[in-house]
Amino acid sequence: MMVALPAVARELKSKVPVTIVLLDACRNDPFPPGTLLKRSPNDEGKPISAGGLGETRGVVSLKGNTEPKGSVDDSLGQVISFAAEPGKVALDGPVDGNSPYAAAVLRHIDTMGGEEFGTVLRMIGEEVYLKTNGQQRPWVNESLRRLLYFGTPAEAPKGDEGEILRERRQLLLTISTLPDNFTGESSTAEIIVHPTGKWVYGSNRGHNSIVSFRIDQTTGAMTAGADPRRTGYAVGY
């Protein structure tokens, strides 16, 4: 059964101040060439265009001399989070478990008390990208007018789990590519993720150096000190 996403979004928008839709689905075209869509058994059918859950429609041209009217939408906006980027597939994961996207959503939504929702979605995206070695990149379309928070801050996890969570959040907020004792002016000119998903490289313009980080494949945490000369991958300016 196919359900039109705009219809679902409109229905939600009419009932709640904030519309949130999380879609764990492939965004490539699943139909073979020549497939026809029939609304009834006697319908001649219409061809299905390629693209799958591709890019959402953007601005269209205004025609005629009619003065455009302002929006009367007083909602706080909407968020549509896709498991994959336009035209790409979303991985299923193990037979007896959740997909990479669903697993990340459940893990982070369950512990997001007091966190800004956009930050949580970025955490989900980063985890899926790292867990799939760069094969899957979640995508978000949003039009929120305000920062969105859920619940109140929960007691932080303790032990290894708490340390992993703190490292992930710190990684998403800021990570320095410069030595602690550097006091000059510098900016990161380029950031590259190794095809294996195990290394990240950055070039510092001003400090004139290359920094490298090792990505822990289990936690996603990054540690400095990887030697880029031993990975067979070059970083250029």
pLDDT at position 50: 52
For residues 71-81, give the mean pLDDT: 81
- Interval 59-76 mean pLDDT: 56
Reply yes or no on whether the pLDDT at 20 is more than 90.
Answer: yes
| The pLDDT of residue 52 is above 60 | no
Q: What DSSP assignment string belongs to the chain?
A: ----HHHHHHHHHTT-SEEEEEE-S--S--SPTT-EE-SSTT---EEPPTTSS-PPP------SSPPPPPP---S-EEEEEESS-TT-------TTS--HHHHHHHHHHTT-TT-BHHHHHHHHHHHHHHHTTTS---EEEE--SS--B-S-PPPPP-HHHHHHHHHHHHHHH----S-TT--S--EEEEEEE-TTSSEEEEEEETTTEEEEEEEPTTT--EEE---GGGTT-----
pLDDT in tens, 90-117: 999 888 899 999 999 998 887 777 788 9
Domains of the chain: 5-31+74-173 (3.40.50.1460), 187-230 (no CATH)
- pLDDT at position 45: 81
pLDDT top residue among 72 and 201 = 201
